[in-house]
Amino acid sequence: MIIAKKISKQIQLANQSVEILHETTIAAEAGEFLSIIGPSGSGKTTLLNCLSGLVKPSTGEVYIDGQCIQKLSARKLAQLRRTSISTIFQSYNLLPALNVYDNVVLPLRLNHQRASKVAITELLQKLNFKADLNQVPSQLSGGEQQKVAVARALMMHARIIFADEPTGALDSLSRQVIFGQLRALSQQGVCVIMVTHDIEQAAQTDRALILSDGCIVNEVKQPSVEQLFTQMDRLRG
């Protein structure tokens, strides 16, 4: 479903080029739950953004369903992202002027799909959301904002979900609930690619990629907590 071929990303900082990703190659299938772990600054979010089409790699190609997304027009890429891809942003990306309900339904409205208030309420309840649907993001805690961002992504029923630290601001119960939702979707055929610092969650995914200095340094299938801690300790040492 997703193939990235030797993608690199450079940015300009203080009149010099800095490489964030270096010739990274990834393939992910429908129904696969893939986690990406690594030290802070290793390029995890940049990799996720390149895979999802939010950022264009400096070199290399990303294919989704056999289409090279770098060769798509802006309109066709936007259409692909509206119909096939959901993204859970680490920074939530909620619109401050919209209340909870309107933030959740916004992608559906942009894609001319009907929204069910009952379905949205039930989903937020499943995510352990405690606030009011009429509140705006500034009235919510970070954890509640994160649940709204997750609900917005899940309501799209996309075939691919990119999740950047989807449980980072949550209590342990809510982390388990949201991870369980992502796990269930992958078992239904959705491709889930998740960036996380949570080793225990990464150990429950189908495959873990370890990223360091913009490069994938290891890949662990059916990872265990012990394996991933060992990999991370090697990077720190």
DSSP code per residue over 84-133: HEEEE-TT----TTS-HHHHHHHHHHHTT----HHHHHHHHHHTT--S-T
Indicate the number of domains in the chain.
Answer: 1
Mean pLDDT of the chain: 94
Q: Are β-strands 16-28 and 160-164 bridged in parallel, bridged antiparallel, or unpaired?
A: unpaired
With 0-12 CB in 10 A as exposed, 13-18 as middle and 19+ as buried, what is 136? middle
- Written as one letter, the residue type at 84 is S
Q: Which segments of the chain have a pLDDT < 70?
A: 237
For residue 10, CA distances in Å to 42, 47, 61, 71, 229 come to 13, 12, 15, 19, 29
Instruction: For residue 163, give the 3-state DSSP assignment.
Output: strand
Q: Is 178 within the bounds of a domain?
A: yes
Query: What letter does residue 206 receive in the DSSP assignment?
Result: S
Q: Which helix (H) or strand (E) holds 5?
A: strand 2-13
User: What's the confidence (pLDDT) of residue 31?
Assistant: 97
With 0-12 CB in 10 A as exposed, 13-18 as middle and 19+ as buried, what is 233? exposed
Q: Is 161 within the bounds of a domain?
A: yes
> What CATH number does the domain containing 98 carry?
3.40.50.300
Q: Is 174 within the bounds of a domain?
A: yes
Q: Write down the pTM of the prediction.
A: 0.94
Residue found under tokens 């991933």:
228
Q: Is 182 within the bounds of a domain?
A: yes
What does the pLDDT look like over 151-199, one tens digit per residue? Answer: 999 999 999 999 999 998 898 999 999 999 999 999 999 999 999 999 9
Query: What letter does residue 54 receive in the DSSP assignment?
Result: S
Q: Is 13 within the bounds of a domain?
A: no
Structure tokens at 136: 């705006």
Q: Is 74 within the bounds of a domain?
A: yes
Of the candidates 169, 164, 117, the one whose C-alpha atom is nearest the C-alpha of residue 147 is: 169
- Phi first, then psi: what are they for 147, rounded to 5°? -65, -35
- Phi first, then psi: what are they for 209, rounded to 5°? -105, 135
Going across the sheet that includes 59-64, the strands are 16-28, 2-13, 59-64, 67-68
- How far apart CA 231 and CA 209 sit, in angstroms, is 10
- Phi first, then psi: what are they for 142, rounded to 5°? -60, -40
Q: What are 230's strand-pairing partners?
A: none
- Written as one letter, the residue type at 136 is V
Range of the domain at 140: 29-53+70-236
Q: Is 104 within the bounds of a domain?
A: yes
